[in-house]
Amino acid sequence: MITQQSIQSDCISRSDFETLFNDHYSRLCAYAYNFIKEQEGSEEIVQEVFFKLWINRSDIKIESSIISYLYRAVRNASLNLIKHINIRENYKQHNKEQIEQSEQLDSDPLNVSELEKKIRASIDLLPEQRKKIFILSRYEQLKYKEIAEKLGISIKTVENQMGKALQFLRKELVEYLPLLIIFFNHLINGE
């Protein structure tokens, strides 16, 4: 775990930095995406924040934790981008809502449960195509048919990939899910 002290002294190693990057990259991208609604741009922002953090590691004054520094930097860069782009009209209102929403979210963006961490890490582990399909289904609420059209693949492939994704995530997450209790309820109620 990288602490405030270690990032400020010059002795943080590249591999510690890699760990920090791996632990937070996906979620920071998702955080940026919340504001700017564009994946490529989100990744650019997060890359840039990490890049600056590394090259300025001896100069940057980090007042709270390194994690909240990252989130604040990503948010500032995202908002700055929005200010400078004429975002397509239909996104404007949406963005406004998103910013309001994420400001609430931002009140404690770092308070993440173990389960949530595990879910994110598990989604990250999915192969690229499967991850894409899962995210389109789960978070964009697209039907199989729509996903197939969007990605230019067959519905059968979407079905199979979703099956594998859900199977994998169930196995990954099973011990974190509070299902045992429900299972006992079934027994007690004689269902």
Partner 1 sequence: MRNENRHISDTLLAKFLLGETSQKEQQIIIGWLEENIAHRKRLDQLEEMWLETGKINPRPIPVNKHLAWKVLNKRLDHHEKLSSTVLTKFSKFKLVLYSAVAASVLILLGLFNWYLIDSSQKQEFLLTNNTKTTLTDTLPDGSKVHLNQLAQINYKPSADGHKRVVQLKGEAFFKVKRDTLKPFIIHAGIGSVKVLGTSFNVKIKKNRDIDVSVKTGRVELFYPNKALTDTLHMVLRAGESGLISLQKDSIIKMKNPSAFFWMDKKLVFRNKPLKDVFEVLEDCYAVKINSNNPSINNLNYTSTFINKDINEVIKVVSTSFNFTYTSEGNTYTILELKKDE
Residues 7-66, interacting with partner 1 (CB under 8 A):
14, 18, 21-22, 25-27, 29-31, 33-34, 39, 41-44, 46-48, 50-52, 54-56
Site for partner 1 contains 100 (CB under 8 A): no
Instruction: Output the smallest distance, CB 191 to partner 1, in A.
Output: 8
CA distances in angstroms from 186 to 99, 125, 170, 176, listed in the order given: 43, 33, 20, 19
Nearer to partner 1, 68 or 159 (CB): 159
Site for partner 1 contains 154 (CB under 8 A): no
CA distances in angstroms from 107 to 95, 102, 141, 151, listed in the order given: 18, 8, 27, 36
Among the listed residues 11, 92, 149, 177, the single contact to partner 1 using CB under 8 A: 177
Among the listed residues 7, 66, 67, 169, the single contact to partner 1 using CB under 8 A: 169
Contact partners, residue 91, CB within 8 Å, separation at least 6: 37
Task: Give me the 110-149 binding string for partner 1, x by CB under 8 A, dash otherwise.
Answer: -----xx--xx--xx---x--xx--x-xxx---xx-----
- The number of C-alpha atoms within 13 Å of 60 and in the hemisphere containing its C-beta is 23
- Show the CA angle centred on residue 86, arms to residues 84 and 88, nearest 5°: 145
Site for partner 1 contains 69 (CB under 8 A): no
Instruction: Output the smallest distance, CB 47 to partner 1, in A.
Output: 5
User: Cβ atoms within 10 A of the Cβ of 129, count?
Assistant: 13
Instruction: Output the smallest distance, CB 1 to partner 1, in A.
Output: 18
User: Cβ atoms within 10 A of the Cβ of 16, count?
Assistant: 14
Instruction: Output the smallest distance, CB 133 to partner 1, in A.
Output: 9
Q: How far apart are CA 91 and CA 133, in angstroms?
A: 23
Site for partner 1 contains 153 (CB under 8 A): no
